[in-house]
Structure 1
């Protein structure tokens, strides 16, 4: 190989590496803009059971499973232990879980006394059914789960009971 050819190859490799580095830096400094629905979700605050406000933006950038449930919904109550198990297994991989109760505070507090959950629980209240419709559940049925990926965008939805094995598959995607 002649010195000129070697110089051209090295120059090309250097330019390519610089372009790749610039692309990664651009992506890091300018993350993709989430959809209007996702942006509206990330701007929300929900009443926590202790009277404070829970700001969901604290989990942005991490995979987040949001489960809408109610104490008066038998399928919701049935799936909560499996969602809790999923959280125990997946939190080490950066996953967060938020349970949003479409309910009043007192029944939720009483339920959690009997069935403690390890993940965050807040109140969506009756307005929660409107929120599930906005997030892709036009029927407004419960239980309803949605996953926001690391970019803050919705990547998965489930109307009805979520099974543990199905949730485990989310961490493998």
Structure 2
């Protein structure tokens, strides 16, 4: 084998191996219930948020107390977020007549969120937040303050589940059904 071909092949294999290692280290964390060291009231800072919707109207997350609340931090510039939202929208539509509320918190510009919502017919409120709002997720295990990040609260407003990374439709629906069946 010629040295140039061999070296190119070695570099290609090394690049693929390096990329695979990167993906392994940075893959979405497995879903898990709220970390045991985090109290079920640790989600209180999220429930205390009051953020503008894409039209500038303030919306308090506390207004949805009494419902299973799915809070998803996302952005239009986040590819995993964009893959996840259609599944969230589908699950939201399935639970339209149940005491379930989805809320998206866009770490983004209002125009981007408004355009995304209109183009994708997102059936739940999308609120706007500055990047520093992600700090409320640090105590819930999102120490890197990455996206997407989802927190699910039971009907009493207690944190039940958190996930850093994408949450698939079946898992999301299962978590909601379990919370609706309890209490």
Question: Which category describes the TM-score, using the shorter chain as reference length?
Answer: 0.7 to 0.9
- Look at both structures and tell me which one has the larger radius of gyration over its CA atoms: 1
1:95 aligns to 2:100 (yes or no): yes
- The CA deviation at 1:35 is 5.6
TM-score normalised to the size of structure 2?
0.71
1:133 aligns to 2:133 (yes or no): no
- 1:110 and 1:155 map into 2 onto residues whose CA distance is 31
- The CA deviation at 1:114 is 1.8
Give deviations 1:54-74, integer Å, cap 9, x for gaps.
011111121100001000000
Q: How many aligned residue pairs are there? A: 140
Q: 1:35/1:79 Cα in 2 relative to 1: closer, same or farther (>3 Å)?
A: closer
Task: Compute the RMSD of aligned alpha carbons.
Answer: 1.7
- 2:43 and 2:121 map into 1 onto residues whose CA distance is 29
Out of 129, 144, 154, the position equivalent to 2:149 is: 144
1:121 aligns to 2:141 (yes or no): no
User: For residue 67 of structure 2, what is the aligned residue in structure 1?
Assistant: 62
Return the structure number with greater relative CO, CA threshold 8 A, min gap 6.
2
1:1-173 to 2 correspondences below 5 Å: 37-173=42-178
Unaligned runs of 5+ in 2: 1-38, 179-183
- 1:120 and 1:139 map into 2 onto residues whose CA distance is 25
- The CA deviation at 1:51 is 1.2
Q: 1:158/1:71 Cα in 2 relative to 1: closer, same or farther (>3 Å)?
A: same
Q: 1:124/1:135 Cα in 2 relative to 1: closer, same or farther (>3 Å)?
A: farther
Report the secondary structure of 1:91's partner residue: coil
Unaligned runs of 5+ in 1: 1-33
- 1:85 and 1:59 map into 2 onto residues whose CA distance is 20
Report the secondary structure of 1:88's partner residue: helix
- 1:62 and 1:40 map into 2 onto residues whose CA distance is 17
